[in-house]
Structures are given as C-alpha cells and as structure tokens.
C-alpha cells in the first residue's frame, strides 16, 4: 500500500505542477490582454472566459494534492483541545466521511457529465463547446480525492494514536 501511495503522491505532484503552469499561462494571457487593450484598443475577447475555466481546472488539479499535504482548509482548534487519542479517532471518522462524500460527488459528477453529453448541451459565451467538456474533470477530481482519503486512512491506522502532524497548525 505504501508503494501505491507514493506513486499516487507523484501523480498528484504532477497535477500540482500542471496547475501551476496553467496559472502561469493564465497570468501571461491576462497580462497580454490588458496590454493589448491599452495599446491597440483590442485584446482577447475570450481572455476572461478562459481565465475562469483555468481557475476551475487549477482548483480541481490541486485539491487532492492539498489534501495529501494537509494544506486544505480545516478548523483545527477542536482537535488541539481534545486528547490525542480522541483527536486520532476524529481524524479516522473525518477521513471515512470525506471518502463517502467524495464518492457521492463523483457519482453525481458522472451523471451530470453523461446527461450533458446525451442532451448535447452546449456552453455558449465567447467560446462555444460541449458542456460536458467542463463537467468531466469534476468526477475525476472527486475520484482522486476519494483515493487520497483511502491513503490518509491507511496512514492514520498504521500510525501511533495521536494528532496528525499535518492536521494542526499548533502543537
């Protein structure tokens, strides 16, 4: 399980790098659009739309990576106030609940994507394309999050009953 978890971690690192490159591309595109609009009075009419989609993709690419690193949003005040063993058990419960929620979201994401493709729904703004192109990354992200919850659960079960080092911002 450890080797599989390490390989999965490398995949998540690659997705985080791809997200960083996407963000860099978005910054370059928006900057070029602003310069062109100020210099030539015409820019890229699709720049705002593409930057919206880039932010969406960046979020989906980095969510599992952030979960793995323990850098997702969480309120750790309660965990630091309770005994270490109870905090450990709460982490187990949290991972199990996170896994179930991710499976539910993945299922609905798959359904939405399939329904959109079957209906032939189209996104019409400056760019026109099938709506399912925007929807398919969502269930993939939740599948990756679910897998990370499994690896987190495994790491926690194999560890000493104590607070996760990456789970709290205070000792």
Residue 33 has pLDDT above 90, yes or no: yes
Name the residue with higher pLDDT: 52 or 41: 52
What's 46's DSSP letter?
A: T
- Dihedral (Cα; 130, 133, 138, 139), 10-degree rounding: 90
Residue 9, pLDDT score: 94
**Dihedral sign of CA atoms 33, 34, 36, 37 in order:** positive
Residue 3, pLDDT score: 93
Contact 57, 15 (CB under 8 A): no
Percent of the chain at pLDDT above 90? 73
Q: What is the pLDDT of residues 86-133, one digit of tens each?
A: 888 988 999 999 999 999 999 999 999 999 999 999 999 999 999 999
- Averaged confidence pLDDT in the chain: 91
Residue 156 has pLDDT above 80, yes or no: yes
Q: What is the pLDDT of residues 58-87, one digit of tens each?
A: 999 999 999 998 877 777 777 788 888 888
pTM for the full model?
0.87
């Amino acid at each position: 399980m450890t080797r599989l978890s390490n390989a999965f971690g490398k995949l998540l690192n690659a997705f985080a790098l791809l997200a960083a490159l996407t963000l860099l591309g978005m910054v370059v595109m928006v900057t070029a659009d602003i310069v062109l609009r100020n210099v030539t009075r015409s820019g890229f009419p699709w720049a705002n739309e593409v930057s919206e989609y880039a932010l969406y993709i960046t979020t989906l690419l980095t969510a599992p990576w952030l979960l793995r690193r323990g850098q997702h949003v969480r309120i750790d005040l309660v965990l630091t106030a309770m005994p270490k063993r109870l905090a450990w058990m709460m982490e187990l419960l949290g991972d199990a609940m996170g896994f179930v929620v991710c499976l539910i979201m993945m299922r609905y994401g798959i359904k939405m994507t399939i329904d959109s493709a079957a209906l032939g729904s189209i996104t019409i703004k400056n760019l026109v394309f099938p709506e399912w192109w925007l929807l398919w990354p969502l269930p993939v992200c939740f599948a990756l999050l679910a897998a990370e919850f499994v690896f987190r659960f495994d790491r926690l079960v194999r560890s000493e009953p104590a607070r996760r080092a990456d789970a709290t911002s205070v000792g």
